[in-house]
């Protein structure tokens, strides 16, 4: 018995060491990027590079905001990200409708919504662009925001979770005189906090990293997001690695911070179930 336990402990120790090494190897490029953002370009290009900067400086970040217009890109990205959170409630409303209301063709319509998940986003970009162009919303923040407000995955996630919520509880609220808006905002949404948290994190990451659609829909630099600005930086200053590392760090670090803070909600979101 002791021999078996010792083997188990040895195996767990080996797995832990292996996972630790893999974690360090995976995170090392990010660490290199962050430290390099505080270096000069000459220090990055030296024959024997060092991990830590010899004289840490914020000059690269200052140049991003003073010369490279990153302040404007940041503002646009924050606007897109914040407005995208409105889509959470639209997805929740659609999910609630599919879960708790009966109407003609509900199942067929839901299958149609699910079918859109199998269509690559690149396929629908041209039709969506033509639609927005016909109503004069191209080259605008509104045109960037609108197509991403509602998604089939969000509707599916809310629908599956809300299907597990007790119908008797909703009926009891109606008998007590609660209207549908009160039931949705005061009863349903509080029960879906784990899903809201997961969707909120995914929405933030999607809005913060938005690149292809803003690049297509915006012709004017004043509507560019951070991802588009970073690509523009790479094209204009391809040899300035320090500046590129600063831009990449500014893009990646906020997402890492958000993930580290809210990672438990991501894990809980795949295990939670509603009230039976």
First to last CA, the chain: 43
- Residues 235-244 pLDDT 10s: 777 778 888 8
Q: Which of 15-19, 46-50, 160-164 has the lowest mean pLDDT?
A: 46-50
Angle between helices 152-162 and 106-115 in degrees, nearest 10: 140
CB 254 within 8 A of CB 30: no
Q: In the prediction, which pLDDT does 163 show?
A: 87
**Helix H or strand E encompassing 41:** helix 41-44
Mean pLDDT throughout 86-112?
Answer: 88
Q: In the prediction, which pLDDT does 178 show?
A: 84
Mean of the per-residue pLDDT values for the chain?
83
Chain length of the chain: 276
Most distant CA pair in the chain, distance? 77
- Tell me how far apart the alpha carbons of residues 206 and 211 are, in angstroms, rounded to a whole number: 9
**Helix H or strand E encompassing 34:** helix 2-36
- Residues 35-64 pLDDT 10s: 888 888 888 777 777 778 887 788 888 888
- Tell me how far apart the alpha carbons of residues 97 and 158 are, in angstroms, rounded to a whole number: 10
What tokens appear for 155 in the block? Answer: 């509707």
Q: Which of 4-13, 71-80, 199-208 has the lowest mean pLDDT?
A: 4-13
Tell me which residue of 78, 91, 75 sits closest to 155, measured CA to CA. 91
- Residues 67-84 pLDDT 10s: 888 888 889 999 988 888
Q: What is the pTM of this model?
A: 0.79
Residue 23 burial (C-beta neighbours within 10 Å; 0-12, 13-18, 19+)? exposed
């Amino acid at each position: 018995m002791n021999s078996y336990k010792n083997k188990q402990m040895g195996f767990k120790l080996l797995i832990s060491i292996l996972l630790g090494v893999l974690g360090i190897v995976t995170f090392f490029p990010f660490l290199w990027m962050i430290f390099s953002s505080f270096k000069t370009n000459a220090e990055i290009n030296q024959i024997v590079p060092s991990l830590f900067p010899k004289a840490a400086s914020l000059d690269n970040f200052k140049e991003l905001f003073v010369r490279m217009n990153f302040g404007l890109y940041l503002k646009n990205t924050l606007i897109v990200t914040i407005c995208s959170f409105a889509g959470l409630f639209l997805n929740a409303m659609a999910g609630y409708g599919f879960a708790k209301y009966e109407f003609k063709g509900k199942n067929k319509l839901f299958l149609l919504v699910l079918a859109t998940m199998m269509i690559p986003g690149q396929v629908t970009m041209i039709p969506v662009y033509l639609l927005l162009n016909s109503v004069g919303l191209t080259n605008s923040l509104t045109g960037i925001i609108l197509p991403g407000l509602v998604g089939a995955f969000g509707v599916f996630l809310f629908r599956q979770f809300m299907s597990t919520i007790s119908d008797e509880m909703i009926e009891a609220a109606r008998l007590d005189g609660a209207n549908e808006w009160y039931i949705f905002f005061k009863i349903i949404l509080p029960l879906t906090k784990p899903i809201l948290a997961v969707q909120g994190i995914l929405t933030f990451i999607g809005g913060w990293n938005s690149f292809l659609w803003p690049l297509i829909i915006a012709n004017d630099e004043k509507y560019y997001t951070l991802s588009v600005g970073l690509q523009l930086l790479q094209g204009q200053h391809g040899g300035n690695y320090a500046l590129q590392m600063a831009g990449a760090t500014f893009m990646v670090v906020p997402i890492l911070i958000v993930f580290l803070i809210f990672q438990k909600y991501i894990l809980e979101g795949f295990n939670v179930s509603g009230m039976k």
